[in-house]
Chains A and B, each alone.
Chain A
Amino acid sequence: MGMNTNGNPVLTTTVEAFEKLINWGRANAVWPFQFGLACCAIEMMATASARFDLARFGAEMMRASPRQSDLMIVAGRVSQKMGPVLRYLYDQMLEPKWVIAMGDCSSCGGVYNNYAVIQGVDKIVPVDVYVAGCPPSPDNLLYGFMKLQEKIAKDHPLRSQKVLKELKTL
Protein backbone atom coordinates (compact mmCIF):
# COMPACT_ATOMS: atom_id res chain seq x y z
CA MET A 1 0.00 0.00 0.00
CA GLY A 2 1.13 3.53 -0.38
CA MET A 3 -0.23 6.92 0.44
CA ASN A 4 0.01 10.11 -1.53
CA THR A 5 -0.53 13.00 0.84
CA ASN A 6 -0.61 15.66 -1.92
CA GLY A 7 1.30 18.12 0.23
CA ASN A 8 -1.55 18.43 2.76
CA PRO A 9 0.33 19.42 5.97
CA VAL A 10 -1.99 17.74 8.48
CA LEU A 11 -2.05 14.49 6.52
CA THR A 12 1.72 14.61 6.00
CA THR A 13 2.42 15.11 9.70
CA THR A 14 0.10 12.28 10.69
CA VAL A 15 1.59 9.93 8.13
CA GLU A 16 5.10 10.87 9.21
CA ALA A 17 4.24 10.24 12.85
CA PHE A 18 2.84 6.83 12.02
CA GLU A 19 5.88 6.03 9.92
CA LYS A 20 8.14 6.96 12.82
CA LEU A 21 6.16 4.63 15.08
CA ILE A 22 6.34 1.75 12.62
CA ASN A 23 10.05 2.29 12.04
CA TRP A 24 10.68 2.42 15.77
CA GLY A 25 8.86 -0.89 16.21
CA ARG A 26 10.69 -2.54 13.32
CA ALA A 27 14.12 -1.26 14.32
CA ASN A 28 13.84 -2.28 17.96
CA ALA A 29 12.37 -5.73 17.45
CA VAL A 30 14.57 -7.17 14.71
CA TRP A 31 14.57 -10.96 14.86
CA PRO A 32 17.67 -12.38 13.20
CA PHE A 33 17.67 -15.58 11.16
CA GLN A 34 20.35 -18.00 12.27
CA PHE A 35 22.50 -18.29 9.18
CA GLY A 36 25.93 -18.99 10.51
CA LEU A 37 27.90 -20.68 7.75
CA ALA A 38 31.55 -20.66 8.85
CA CYS A 39 33.94 -18.98 11.28
CA CYS A 40 31.96 -15.74 11.44
CA ALA A 41 29.19 -17.75 13.04
CA ILE A 42 31.34 -18.11 16.15
CA GLU A 43 31.62 -14.35 16.41
CA MET A 44 27.86 -14.05 15.86
CA MET A 45 27.29 -16.47 18.73
CA ALA A 46 29.70 -14.45 20.84
CA THR A 47 27.70 -11.33 20.03
CA ALA A 48 24.56 -13.00 21.30
CA SER A 49 26.09 -14.22 24.53
CA ALA A 50 27.21 -12.81 27.81
CA ARG A 51 29.88 -10.21 27.15
CA PHE A 52 28.38 -8.34 24.20
CA ASP A 53 24.71 -9.29 24.37
CA LEU A 54 22.76 -8.59 21.21
CA ALA A 55 19.63 -9.06 23.31
CA ARG A 56 19.93 -5.54 24.68
CA PHE A 57 18.75 -4.26 21.29
CA GLY A 58 15.78 -6.60 21.30
CA ALA A 59 17.41 -8.98 18.82
CA GLU A 60 17.73 -12.06 20.97
CA MET A 61 14.87 -13.99 19.36
CA MET A 62 16.96 -15.82 16.82
CA ARG A 63 14.27 -17.80 15.06
CA ALA A 64 15.05 -20.88 13.05
CA SER A 65 12.17 -20.45 10.63
CA PRO A 66 12.66 -17.88 7.84
CA ARG A 67 8.97 -16.99 8.00
CA GLN A 68 9.38 -15.52 11.45
CA SER A 69 12.63 -13.58 11.07
CA ASP A 70 13.39 -10.14 9.62
CA LEU A 71 17.13 -10.03 9.34
CA MET A 72 19.47 -12.47 7.66
CA ILE A 73 23.01 -12.21 9.00
CA VAL A 74 25.09 -14.05 6.40
CA ALA A 75 27.96 -15.07 8.64
CA GLY A 76 30.63 -16.81 6.65
CA ARG A 77 31.68 -17.79 3.16
CA VAL A 78 28.97 -18.83 0.70
CA SER A 79 30.03 -21.68 -1.56
CA GLN A 80 28.58 -22.16 -5.04
CA LYS A 81 26.54 -25.08 -3.69
CA MET A 82 25.09 -23.01 -0.86
CA GLY A 83 24.16 -20.08 -3.10
CA PRO A 84 20.77 -21.35 -4.30
CA VAL A 85 19.88 -22.48 -0.79
CA LEU A 86 20.63 -19.01 0.54
CA ARG A 87 18.52 -17.38 -2.16
CA TYR A 88 15.66 -19.81 -1.47
CA LEU A 89 15.68 -18.99 2.23
CA TYR A 90 15.90 -15.28 1.51
CA ASP A 91 12.83 -15.56 -0.70
CA GLN A 92 10.97 -17.36 2.06
CA MET A 93 11.45 -14.51 4.51
CA LEU A 94 8.48 -12.17 4.81
CA GLU A 95 8.67 -8.50 3.91
CA PRO A 96 10.15 -6.28 5.28
CA LYS A 97 13.52 -7.98 5.38
CA TRP A 98 17.12 -6.92 5.61
CA VAL A 99 20.50 -8.56 5.08
CA ILE A 100 23.77 -7.97 6.89
CA ALA A 101 26.82 -9.37 5.11
CA MET A 102 29.05 -10.20 8.05
CA GLY A 103 32.73 -10.61 7.48
CA ASP A 104 34.94 -10.36 4.42
CA CYS A 105 33.87 -13.63 2.80
CA SER A 106 30.23 -12.69 2.46
CA SER A 107 31.02 -9.09 1.54
CA CYS A 108 33.49 -9.76 -1.26
CA GLY A 109 34.78 -13.31 -1.16
CA GLY A 110 37.45 -12.53 1.44
CA VAL A 111 40.58 -14.66 1.28
CA TYR A 112 38.84 -17.19 -0.99
CA ASN A 113 39.45 -15.71 -4.41
CA ASN A 114 38.61 -18.94 -6.28
CA TYR A 115 35.96 -20.77 -8.29
CA ALA A 116 34.27 -22.47 -5.34
CA VAL A 117 33.23 -19.45 -3.27
CA ILE A 118 30.71 -16.82 -4.38
CA GLN A 119 32.62 -13.53 -4.43
CA GLY A 120 30.30 -11.56 -2.25
CA VAL A 121 26.77 -12.47 -1.24
CA ASP A 122 25.44 -9.29 -2.81
CA LYS A 123 25.62 -11.15 -6.09
CA ILE A 124 22.55 -13.15 -5.01
CA VAL A 125 20.71 -11.13 -2.36
CA PRO A 126 20.45 -7.35 -1.83
CA VAL A 127 22.65 -6.42 1.14
CA ASP A 128 21.89 -3.52 3.45
CA VAL A 129 24.96 -3.40 5.71
CA TYR A 130 28.46 -4.75 5.14
CA VAL A 131 30.50 -5.57 8.23
CA ALA A 132 34.20 -5.87 7.52
CA GLY A 133 36.62 -8.11 9.38
CA CYS A 134 37.96 -11.62 9.29
CA PRO A 135 36.14 -12.36 11.49
CA PRO A 136 34.62 -9.06 12.63
CA SER A 137 34.77 -8.72 16.37
CA PRO A 138 31.44 -8.62 18.19
CA ASP A 139 31.71 -4.86 18.74
CA ASN A 140 32.05 -4.57 14.99
CA LEU A 141 28.89 -6.57 14.38
CA LEU A 142 27.03 -4.55 17.00
CA TYR A 143 28.09 -1.36 15.23
CA GLY A 144 26.81 -2.80 11.96
CA PHE A 145 23.56 -3.70 13.67
CA MET A 146 23.15 -0.17 14.98
CA LYS A 147 23.81 1.17 11.48
CA LEU A 148 21.03 -1.10 10.25
CA GLN A 149 18.72 0.33 12.89
CA GLU A 150 19.54 3.82 11.62
CA LYS A 151 18.78 2.67 8.07
CA ILE A 152 15.42 1.24 9.15
CA ALA A 153 14.58 4.51 10.88
CA LYS A 154 14.97 6.37 7.56
CA ASP A 155 12.46 4.15 5.77
CA HIS A 156 9.06 5.33 4.52
CA PRO A 157 6.75 2.33 4.90
CA LEU A 158 3.51 4.17 4.22
CA ARG A 159 4.32 6.18 1.13
CA SER A 160 3.49 5.27 -2.47
CA GLN A 161 6.24 4.66 -5.03
CA LYS A 162 5.66 8.00 -6.77
CA VAL A 163 6.10 9.94 -3.53
CA LEU A 164 9.22 7.92 -2.67
CA LYS A 165 10.80 8.86 -6.00
CA GLU A 166 10.07 12.52 -5.33
CA LEU A 167 11.53 12.30 -1.83
CA LYS A 168 14.70 10.70 -3.20
CA THR A 169 15.24 13.52 -5.69
CA LEU A 170 14.94 16.19 -2.98
Chain B
Amino acid sequence: MGSPPILAVLAVIVAKALVVIVVLLTAFAYMTWLERRLISRFQVRIGPNRVGPFGLMQPLADGIKLFFKEDFVPAGADKVLYYLAPGLAMVTAFTAFAVIPFGPPDVQLFGVPLFQISNPNAGILFVLAVTSIGIYGIILGGWSSNSKYSLLGALRSSAQLISYELGVGLAIVGVVLLAGTLQLPEIVKEQSGFFFGFLPRWNIFVQPLGFLLLLIGATAETNRPPFDLPESEQELVAGFHTEYGGMKFAAFFVAEYVNVITASGVATTLFLGGWQGPFVDQFPILGPLWFVVKIFAFAFFFIWIRATLPRIRYDQLMDVGWKLLVPLALLNLAITSVIVLIWPSLGGGS
Protein backbone atom coordinates (compact mmCIF):
# COMPACT_ATOMS: atom_id res chain seq x y z
CA MET B 1 0.00 0.00 0.00
CA GLY B 2 1.51 3.30 -1.04
CA SER B 3 1.76 6.35 1.18
CA PRO B 4 -1.47 8.39 1.26
CA PRO B 5 -1.72 11.51 -0.92
CA ILE B 6 -0.22 14.52 0.82
CA LEU B 7 -3.31 16.64 0.20
CA ALA B 8 -5.50 14.16 2.04
CA VAL B 9 -3.11 14.11 4.98
CA LEU B 10 -3.03 17.91 5.09
CA ALA B 11 -6.82 18.08 4.90
CA VAL B 12 -7.19 15.67 7.84
CA ILE B 13 -4.71 17.65 9.94
CA VAL B 14 -6.40 20.98 9.22
CA ALA B 15 -9.84 19.51 9.90
CA LYS B 16 -8.64 18.07 13.21
CA ALA B 17 -7.24 21.44 14.28
CA LEU B 18 -10.45 23.25 13.32
CA VAL B 19 -12.61 20.78 15.21
CA VAL B 20 -10.46 21.12 18.31
CA ILE B 21 -10.58 24.94 18.13
CA VAL B 22 -14.36 24.95 17.80
CA VAL B 23 -14.74 22.46 20.64
CA LEU B 24 -12.41 24.49 22.87
CA LEU B 25 -14.35 27.71 22.17
CA THR B 26 -17.64 26.02 23.02
CA ALA B 27 -16.10 24.48 26.10
CA PHE B 28 -14.88 27.94 27.16
CA ALA B 29 -18.33 29.45 26.69
CA TYR B 30 -20.08 26.80 28.71
CA MET B 31 -17.38 26.74 31.34
CA THR B 32 -18.21 30.38 32.10
CA TRP B 33 -21.87 29.37 32.38
CA LEU B 34 -20.96 26.42 34.60
CA GLU B 35 -18.81 28.60 36.80
CA ARG B 36 -21.54 31.16 37.35
CA ARG B 37 -24.20 28.54 38.09
CA LEU B 38 -21.95 26.51 40.39
CA ILE B 39 -20.63 29.48 42.34
CA SER B 40 -24.19 30.70 42.75
CA ARG B 41 -25.19 27.32 44.11
CA PHE B 42 -22.25 27.35 46.50
CA GLN B 43 -23.44 30.75 47.71
CA VAL B 44 -27.08 29.62 48.06
CA ARG B 45 -28.14 31.71 45.07
CA ILE B 46 -29.46 30.66 41.68
CA GLY B 47 -27.27 32.23 39.02
CA PRO B 48 -28.21 33.07 35.44
CA ASN B 49 -31.47 31.33 34.66
CA ARG B 50 -33.49 33.82 32.62
CA VAL B 51 -31.53 33.92 29.41
CA GLY B 52 -32.77 30.81 27.67
CA PRO B 53 -33.52 27.51 29.43
CA PHE B 54 -31.40 27.24 32.59
CA GLY B 55 -29.51 30.33 31.44
CA LEU B 56 -27.77 28.36 28.70
CA MET B 57 -27.87 31.30 26.27
CA GLN B 58 -25.99 33.49 28.73
CA PRO B 59 -22.55 32.97 27.11
CA LEU B 60 -24.08 33.91 23.76
CA ALA B 61 -25.47 37.16 25.20
CA ASP B 62 -22.09 37.94 26.79
CA GLY B 63 -20.36 37.33 23.50
CA ILE B 64 -22.74 39.53 21.49
CA LYS B 65 -22.45 42.32 24.00
CA LEU B 66 -18.65 42.21 24.04
CA PHE B 67 -18.50 42.06 20.25
CA PHE B 68 -20.47 45.29 19.82
CA LYS B 69 -18.60 47.32 22.43
CA GLU B 70 -16.59 50.36 21.46
CA ASP B 71 -13.07 49.68 20.24
CA PHE B 72 -10.67 51.66 22.35
CA VAL B 73 -6.95 52.36 22.89
CA PRO B 74 -5.80 54.29 25.99
CA ALA B 75 -3.98 57.57 25.49
CA GLY B 76 -0.22 57.10 25.36
CA ALA B 77 -0.48 53.35 24.94
CA ASP B 78 1.88 51.49 22.67
CA LYS B 79 -0.58 50.58 19.92
CA VAL B 80 1.29 47.62 18.44
CA LEU B 81 1.81 45.91 21.78
CA TYR B 82 -1.69 46.83 22.97
CA TYR B 83 -3.26 44.92 20.09
CA LEU B 84 -0.68 42.13 20.17
CA ALA B 85 -1.07 41.17 23.84
CA PRO B 86 -4.57 39.65 23.89
CA GLY B 87 -3.91 37.92 20.57
CA LEU B 88 -0.72 36.36 21.91
CA ALA B 89 -2.46 35.22 25.08
CA MET B 90 -5.27 33.60 23.12
CA VAL B 91 -3.06 31.93 20.49
CA THR B 92 -0.76 30.33 23.05
CA ALA B 93 -3.73 29.10 25.08
CA PHE B 94 -5.08 27.19 22.07
CA THR B 95 -1.68 26.01 20.83
CA ALA B 96 -0.83 24.35 24.12
CA PHE B 97 -3.70 21.93 23.58
CA ALA B 98 -2.13 20.59 20.39
CA VAL B 99 -0.14 17.76 21.98
CA ILE B 100 -2.78 16.42 24.35
CA PRO B 101 -4.17 13.05 23.30
CA PHE B 102 -7.89 12.71 23.83
CA GLY B 103 -8.41 9.24 22.40
CA PRO B 104 -6.61 6.03 21.45
CA PRO B 105 -3.78 6.64 18.94
CA ASP B 106 -4.62 3.71 16.70
CA VAL B 107 -7.77 5.36 15.32
CA GLN B 108 -6.33 6.81 12.13
CA LEU B 109 -7.43 8.27 8.82
CA PHE B 110 -4.90 8.20 5.95
CA GLY B 111 -2.27 7.29 8.51
CA VAL B 112 -2.94 10.39 10.63
CA PRO B 113 -4.00 9.70 14.24
CA LEU B 114 -7.36 11.34 14.75
CA PHE B 115 -7.35 11.93 18.47
CA GLN B 116 -4.26 14.05 18.87
CA ILE B 117 -3.21 17.01 16.77
CA SER B 118 0.52 16.41 16.95
CA ASN B 119 2.93 14.08 18.71
CA PRO B 120 6.39 15.68 18.83
CA ASN B 121 9.29 13.97 20.50
CA ALA B 122 9.44 16.60 23.21
CA GLY B 123 5.84 15.87 24.20
CA ILE B 124 5.02 17.43 27.52
CA LEU B 125 7.84 19.97 27.16
CA PHE B 126 5.88 21.53 24.31
CA VAL B 127 3.10 22.47 26.72
CA LEU B 128 5.63 24.05 29.09
CA ALA B 129 7.25 25.96 26.22
CA VAL B 130 3.99 27.36 24.90
CA THR B 131 2.76 28.42 28.33
CA SER B 132 6.09 30.22 28.82
CA ILE B 133 5.30 32.26 25.71
CA GLY B 134 1.81 32.90 27.08
CA ILE B 135 3.36 34.95 29.88
CA TYR B 136 4.20 37.60 27.28
CA GLY B 137 0.53 38.21 26.64
CA ILE B 138 0.13 39.28 30.24
CA ILE B 139 3.34 41.31 30.43
CA LEU B 140 2.66 43.17 27.19
CA GLY B 141 -0.96 43.75 28.17
CA GLY B 142 0.06 45.31 31.43
CA TRP B 143 2.89 47.38 30.01
CA SER B 144 1.22 48.70 26.91
CA SER B 145 -1.84 50.00 28.78
CA ASN B 146 0.14 52.95 30.13
CA SER B 147 -1.48 52.66 33.55
CA LYS B 148 0.11 51.98 36.91
CA TYR B 149 -2.46 49.39 37.97
CA SER B 150 -1.90 47.42 34.81
CA LEU B 151 1.87 47.55 35.19
CA LEU B 152 1.75 46.35 38.79
CA GLY B 153 -0.65 43.58 37.88
CA ALA B 154 1.56 42.49 34.99
CA LEU B 155 4.70 42.45 37.12
CA ARG B 156 3.03 40.46 39.87
CA SER B 157 1.49 38.06 37.44
CA SER B 158 4.66 37.34 35.49
CA ALA B 159 6.68 36.85 38.68
CA GLN B 160 4.03 34.44 39.90
CA LEU B 161 3.96 32.54 36.62
CA ILE B 162 7.71 32.03 36.26
CA SER B 163 7.99 30.97 39.91
CA TYR B 164 5.31 28.30 39.64
CA GLU B 165 6.64 27.00 36.32
CA LEU B 166 9.50 25.45 38.30
CA GLY B 167 7.21 23.58 40.65
CA VAL B 168 5.02 22.34 37.81
CA GLY B 169 8.02 21.23 35.75
CA LEU B 170 9.55 19.31 38.64
CA ALA B 171 6.23 17.65 39.48
CA ILE B 172 5.94 16.51 35.87
CA VAL B 173 9.45 15.00 35.89
CA GLY B 174 8.32 12.38 38.41
CA VAL B 175 5.74 11.09 35.94
CA VAL B 176 8.26 11.22 33.09
CA LEU B 177 10.65 9.07 35.16
CA LEU B 178 7.97 6.46 35.68
CA ALA B 179 6.99 6.39 32.02
CA GLY B 180 10.49 6.67 30.61
CA THR B 181 9.39 9.00 27.82
CA LEU B 182 8.29 12.57 27.26
CA GLN B 183 5.61 11.69 24.73
CA LEU B 184 2.06 11.92 25.99
CA PRO B 185 0.43 8.93 24.20
CA GLU B 186 3.13 6.69 25.68
CA ILE B 187 2.50 8.11 29.14
CA VAL B 188 -1.19 7.33 28.78
CA LYS B 189 -0.39 3.82 27.58
CA GLU B 190 1.80 3.20 30.61
CA GLN B 191 -1.27 3.77 32.75
CA SER B 192 -3.32 0.94 31.29
CA GLY B 193 -4.03 -2.15 33.28
CA PHE B 194 -4.92 -2.58 36.90
CA PHE B 195 -3.25 -2.81 40.28
CA PHE B 196 -4.52 -5.73 42.33
CA GLY B 197 -7.09 -6.46 39.65
CA PHE B 198 -9.45 -3.58 40.30
CA LEU B 199 -7.58 -0.30 40.90
CA PRO B 200 -6.70 1.35 37.56
CA ARG B 201 -3.01 1.81 37.08
CA TRP B 202 -3.21 5.61 37.11
CA ASN B 203 -0.27 7.72 38.14
CA ILE B 204 -2.29 9.46 40.81
CA PHE B 205 -1.98 6.35 42.99
CA VAL B 206 1.76 6.07 42.42
CA GLN B 207 2.63 9.77 42.59
CA PRO B 208 0.14 11.38 44.98
CA LEU B 209 2.55 14.14 46.01
CA GLY B 210 3.33 14.95 42.39
CA PHE B 211 -0.38 15.18 41.63
CA LEU B 212 -1.00 17.55 44.50
CA LEU B 213 1.94 19.75 43.47
CA LEU B 214 0.78 19.82 39.86
CA LEU B 215 -2.70 20.83 40.96
CA ILE B 216 -1.48 23.70 43.12
CA GLY B 217 1.02 24.78 40.47
CA ALA B 218 -1.60 24.65 37.71
CA THR B 219 -3.99 26.80 39.76
CA ALA B 220 -1.24 29.39 40.10
CA GLU B 221 -0.15 29.12 36.47
CA THR B 222 -3.63 29.88 35.18
CA ASN B 223 -4.19 32.81 37.58
CA ARG B 224 -7.16 31.10 39.20
CA PRO B 225 -8.30 31.92 42.72
CA PRO B 226 -6.87 31.58 45.36
CA PHE B 227 -3.84 32.69 43.32
CA ASP B 228 -5.59 35.41 41.33
CA LEU B 229 -3.89 38.37 42.95
CA PRO B 230 -2.89 39.86 39.57
CA GLU B 231 -6.54 40.25 38.70
CA SER B 232 -7.88 41.08 42.10
CA GLU B 233 -10.45 43.81 42.32
CA GLN B 234 -9.76 44.99 45.81
CA GLU B 235 -6.09 45.59 45.20
CA LEU B 236 -5.40 46.33 41.59
CA VAL B 237 -8.69 47.46 40.06
CA ALA B 238 -8.52 44.70 37.47
CA GLY B 239 -4.81 44.01 37.22
CA PHE B 240 -3.20 43.70 33.84
CA HIS B 241 -6.46 43.92 31.92
CA THR B 242 -7.70 47.09 33.59
CA GLU B 243 -7.57 49.11 30.39
CA TYR B 244 -8.95 46.42 28.11
CA GLY B 245 -12.62 46.42 27.16
CA GLY B 246 -14.85 44.79 24.58
CA MET B 247 -13.43 42.09 22.36
CA LYS B 248 -9.82 42.42 23.55
CA PHE B 249 -10.97 41.77 27.09
CA ALA B 250 -12.92 38.81 25.75
CA ALA B 251 -9.66 37.49 24.26
CA PHE B 252 -7.97 37.57 27.68
CA PHE B 253 -11.02 35.92 29.16
CA VAL B 254 -10.94 33.15 26.56
CA ALA B 255 -7.21 32.68 27.13
CA GLU B 256 -7.69 32.23 30.87
CA TYR B 257 -10.43 29.62 30.62
CA VAL B 258 -8.78 27.72 27.77
CA ASN B 259 -5.61 27.66 29.89
CA VAL B 260 -7.67 26.07 32.66
CA ILE B 261 -8.97 23.46 30.23
CA THR B 262 -5.45 22.75 28.96
CA ALA B 263 -4.12 22.46 32.51
CA SER B 264 -6.94 20.03 33.29
CA GLY B 265 -6.03 18.14 30.13
CA VAL B 266 -2.38 17.89 31.17
CA ALA B 267 -3.30 16.74 34.68
CA THR B 268 -5.71 14.17 33.26
CA THR B 269 -3.18 12.81 30.80
CA LEU B 270 -0.35 12.60 33.30
CA PHE B 271 -2.15 11.41 36.40
CA LEU B 272 -5.65 10.14 35.63
CA GLY B 273 -4.93 7.88 32.69
CA GLY B 274 -6.03 10.29 29.96
CA TRP B 275 -8.65 8.78 27.69
CA GLN B 276 -8.71 5.38 29.35
CA GLY B 277 -11.83 4.00 30.91
CA PRO B 278 -14.16 1.00 30.76
CA PHE B 279 -14.86 -0.50 27.31
CA VAL B 280 -12.40 1.76 25.47
CA ASP B 281 -10.71 -1.22 23.78
CA GLN B 282 -13.92 -2.37 22.17
CA PHE B 283 -15.31 1.07 21.31
CA PRO B 284 -12.44 3.51 20.69
CA ILE B 285 -14.93 6.36 20.34
CA LEU B 286 -15.46 6.16 24.11
CA GLY B 287 -11.92 7.47 24.59
CA PRO B 288 -12.81 11.16 24.06
CA LEU B 289 -15.90 10.67 26.22
CA TRP B 290 -13.90 9.51 29.23
CA PHE B 291 -11.43 12.32 28.60
CA VAL B 292 -14.22 14.89 28.66
CA VAL B 293 -15.62 13.40 31.88
CA LYS B 294 -12.25 13.72 33.58
CA ILE B 295 -11.74 17.29 32.33
CA PHE B 296 -15.18 18.14 33.65
CA ALA B 297 -14.18 16.73 37.06
CA PHE B 298 -11.12 19.00 37.10
CA ALA B 299 -13.13 22.03 35.99
CA PHE B 300 -15.59 21.37 38.80
CA PHE B 301 -12.69 21.12 41.21
CA PHE B 302 -11.19 24.44 40.07
CA ILE B 303 -14.58 26.17 40.39
CA TRP B 304 -15.13 24.60 43.79
CA ILE B 305 -11.78 25.94 45.00
CA ARG B 306 -12.69 29.38 43.66
CA ALA B 307 -15.93 29.43 45.62
CA THR B 308 -14.32 28.25 48.82
CA LEU B 309 -10.89 29.69 49.47
CA PRO B 310 -9.91 33.31 50.17
CA ARG B 311 -7.26 34.99 48.09
CA ILE B 312 -3.62 34.53 49.07
CA ARG B 313 -1.53 37.62 49.73
CA TYR B 314 1.29 38.24 47.29
CA ASP B 315 4.21 37.51 49.59
CA GLN B 316 2.49 34.38 50.86
CA LEU B 317 1.99 33.36 47.24
CA MET B 318 5.70 33.68 46.41
CA ASP B 319 6.58 31.89 49.66
CA VAL B 320 4.37 28.95 48.78
CA GLY B 321 5.87 28.79 45.30
CA TRP B 322 9.52 28.88 46.26
CA LYS B 323 9.68 27.58 49.83
CA LEU B 324 7.01 24.91 49.68
CA LEU B 325 6.42 23.73 46.13
CA VAL B 326 10.01 23.53 44.86
CA PRO B 327 11.49 21.64 47.86
CA LEU B 328 8.55 19.23 47.94
CA ALA B 329 8.87 18.65 44.20
CA LEU B 330 12.59 17.97 44.58
CA LEU B 331 11.83 15.55 47.41
CA ASN B 332 9.27 13.82 45.21
CA LEU B 333 11.84 13.60 42.43
CA ALA B 334 14.48 12.16 44.74
CA ILE B 335 12.16 9.50 46.14
CA THR B 336 10.91 8.56 42.68
CA SER B 337 14.45 8.30 41.30
CA VAL B 338 15.57 6.07 44.16
CA ILE B 339 12.58 3.78 43.70
CA VAL B 340 13.07 3.57 39.95
CA LEU B 341 16.75 2.76 40.48
CA ILE B 342 16.08 -0.04 42.91
CA TRP B 343 13.19 -1.61 41.03
CA PRO B 344 13.86 -0.87 37.32
CA SER B 345 10.69 -2.67 36.29
CA LEU B 346 8.62 0.12 37.83
CA GLY B 347 10.22 2.77 35.67
CA GLY B 348 10.00 2.67 31.91
CA GLY B 349 12.21 3.15 28.91
CA SER B 350 15.84 2.19 28.48
Contacts and interface: CB of A to CB of B under 8 A. Distances in A.
Interface of A: 21-22, 24-26, 28-30, 34, 49-50, 53, 55-58, 60, 63-65, 67-68, 70, 94-96, 157
Contact of B238 (A57, A64, A96): A64
B40 A68 contact: no
11 contacts: A26-B64, A28-B58, A29-B51, A50-B43, A53-B47, A58-B50, A58-B51, A65-B237, A65-B245, A67-B243, A67-B245
Interface in B36-79: 36, 40, 43-51, 55, 57-58, 60-70, 72
A22 B61 CA distance: 9
Interface of B: 36, 40, 43-51, 55, 57-58, 60-70, 72, 233-234, 237-238, 241-246, 249
A55 B36 contact: yes
Contacts of A22: 64, 68
Contacts of A68: 238, 241, 244-245, 249
B50 A95 contact: no
Given A28-B61, A95-B69, A55 B238 contact: no
B245 A94 contact: yes
Contacts, number: 101
A22 B64 CA distance: 6
A interface majority secondary structure = loop
B43 A29 contact: no
Residue of A24, A28, A34, A157 contacting most chain B CB atoms (<10 Å): A28
A22 B184 CA distance: 44
A157 B64 CA distance: 13
A60 B48 contact: yes
B139 to A, nearest CB: 18
B69 A94 contact: yes
A63 B40 CA distance: 17
Nearest to B149: A65
Contacts of B244: 67-68
Contacts of B36: 55, 60
B44 A50 contact: yes
Contacts of A94: 69-70, 72, 245-246
A28 B66 CA distance: 12
B46 A29 contact: no
